[in-house]
Amino acid sequence: MQVMYAVDANPVTGGAWVEVCAIADIIYGVGVCALIGKRQVAVFRLPGSGQYYAIDNHDPFSEANVLSRGLVGDIKGQPVVASPIYKQHFNLQTGQCLEDEGVRLETFAVRVNEGMVQIELK
């Protein structure tokens, strides 16, 4: 089941931490989408390490907001999400597309504070 969380981030300011959801809302290896203002952000919790990552939810190849529905894994030690449409892989740490070095998604810092997942706006 795909869930989108709407976050009131008005006014949106750079450097602000915004609560997205409770840690229990993110299943290991499955992304969730947070609507922050007018922007969609995909948030992932990796299996094994439990590390959190957040990237732009917009897939530049399909022009659809779908990356939160992608498959999470790793390629040569790099944590990645594969687009559910055309299957390009995006590094969750850097946003870099592994198949096209000219494409990079925006990434966001993630932290857990008192059981809530937060992302830092830029």
For 29-57, the pLDDT digits (tens) are 999 999 998 899 999 999 988 899 999 99
- Average pLDDT of the segment spanning 74-86: 96
Q: What is the pLDDT of residue 13?
A: 62
- Reply yes or no on whether the pLDDT at 6 is more than 70: no
- Average pLDDT of the segment spanning 79-87: 97
- Assigned token pair, 116: 């809530």
105: how many CB neighbours lie within 10 A of its CB?
20
Q: What is the pLDDT of residue 37?
A: 87
How far is residue 7 from each of residues 33, 38, 109, measured CA to CA in Å? 10, 10, 16
> CA-to-CA distance for 15 and 5, rounded, in angstroms?
20
| Confidence grade of residue 1 (pLDDT, cut at 50, 70, 90) | very low
